[in-house]
Amino acid sequence: MKLKVNHDSELLEYLYNNLDMPKKKIKQYLTHGAIYVNNVKTTKYNYKLVAGMNIAIDTNNKNKKVLPFEIVFEDDQIIVVNKPSGLLTIATSKEKEKTLYHIVSDYLKSKDKNAKVFIVHRLDKDTSGLVLLAKNEKIKNQLQENWNEYVTLREYVAIVHGKLKNTNGRIVQNLNETKTNLVYVTKKGEGKEAITNYEVIKSSDNYSLVKINIETGRKNQIRVAMSTIGNPIVGDKKYGNIKDNENRLYLHANRLKIYYPILRKDILFEISNPKEFKKIMNK
């Protein structure tokens, strides 16, 4: 299916207004990478269209059972994926469909209409990297109830502003949260303890590439920890520099080691750093 753009607009809006097709179906085509603008695949609802552009929709793509991001591991019990930065893990009051959960659910149901999926753990919207989801409630409950015992490594990489005073360290803090969802450091005995370990891998004049392991899984704990020691994560407008012009948060969950009860052994899931991490370190 092909059409020519005759006025400036955003992609989803334009398709909805110019096709005899439900908005939900258009979103599915976008989610599954079936829409091309000037021969370039896009999954963005708000992709900016300019008059004269050409749109092509591969209507058979939905049957190819692909995700718009990497599947790191999949069997009949779990699926581990590489979540992009900027994508919610689960729905909020403002966004119901453009979430990791919804996209993976659609993918599984394209193979089996009765398929289910359950969130086991989350990443912040702006953090990219490894997320594990369960395909049935039994394994979901088993993993969640034993998460702290089963998980032996939760490693991230981050690019932070400046050079760190110490090449490695252990940051122990107590964190609380305001009614506006801002996490802050509080005194001992209040909030929840957060433990963050870091090690500098490489430094340039303006930035440092840091390996981070967490012993606790508190909301925004890495972002708060690095900001507290004076080296906020690049792209962090919430806890760092609000004038930071980078278009993503430079925090990536790259390694997860977990005991997998189905196989009765530890499995290490590992992915490479996003390409933009290398680019910014060379600036």
Domain covering 151-253 in this structure, CATH number: 3.30.2350.10
Q: Do 165 and 121 touch, CB atoms closer than 8 A?
A: no
Written as one letter, the residue type at 184 is: Y
For residues 252 and 127, give the distance between their C-alpha atoms in angstroms, rounded to a whole number: 6
CA distances from 150 to 160, 167, 218 (A): 30, 29, 17
Catalytic residue among 20, 58, 112, 124: 124
CATH 3.20.20.70 fits 2-64, yes or no: no
pLDDT, position 65: 60
63 pLDDT above the threshold of 60: no
- pTM (2 d.p.): 0.76
For residues 75 and 209, give the distance between their C-alpha atoms in angstroms, rounded to a whole number: 33
For the chain, the 3-state helix, strand and coil shares in percent, each to the nearest 5, are 20, 35, 45
CA distances from 28 to 45, 86, 131, 134, 174 (A): 11, 18, 21, 22, 42
Half-sphere exposure of 158 (CA within 13 A, CB side): 31
pLDDT, position 267: 95
| Extended strands (E) in the chain | 2-4, 9-10, 35-37, 40-41, 48-49, 54-57, 71-74, 78-83, 118-119, 128-134, 151-161, 168-177, 183-186, 192-203, 207-214, 251-260, 265-270
Helix ranges (H only) for 64-166 are 100-111, 137-145, 147-150
For residues 131 and 209, give the distance between their C-alpha atoms in angstroms, rounded to a whole number: 22
pLDDT, position 64: 55
Are both 2-64 and 151-253 of the same fold? no
59 pLDDT above the threshold of 80: no
Angle formed at CA 74 by CA 133 and CA 114, multiple of 5 degrees = 70
Domain covering 67-145 in this structure, CATH number: 3.30.2350.10
Annotated catalytic residue 126: no
For residues 26 and 29, give the distance between their C-alpha atoms in angstroms, rounded to a whole number: 5
Q: Is 7 helix (H, G, I), strand (E, B) or coil?
A: coil
For residues 226 and 200, give the distance between their C-alpha atoms in angstroms, rounded to a whole number: 12
Strands 2-4 and 40-41: unpaired
Q: What is the mean pLDDT of residues 196-204?
A: 97
Q: How many CB atoms lie within 10 A of CB 41?
A: 14
Tens digit of each residue's pLDDT (9 = 90 or more) over 171-193 = 999 999 999 989 999 998 899 99
Tens digit of each residue's pLDDT (9 = 90 or more) over 111-123 = 888 999 999 999 9
Domain boundaries, the chain: 2-64, 67-145, 151-253
Tokens for 36?
Answer: 């091309």
For residues 170 and 168, give the distance between their C-alpha atoms in angstroms, rounded to a whole number: 7
CA distances from 210 to 51, 117, 161, 199 (A): 44, 33, 11, 6
Tens digit of each residue's pLDDT (9 = 90 or more) over 217-261 = 999 999 999 999 999 999 999 999 777 788 899 999 999 999 999
For residues 83 and 103, give the distance between their C-alpha atoms in angstroms, rounded to a whole number: 11
207 pLDDT above the threshold of 90: yes
Q: Is 14 helix (H, G, I), strand (E, B) or coil?
A: helix
Predicted confidence band of residue 22 (pLDDT cuts 50, 70, 90) = confident
168 pLDDT above the threshold of 80: yes
pLDDT, position 281: 87
Per the prediction, the chain carries an average pLDDT of 91
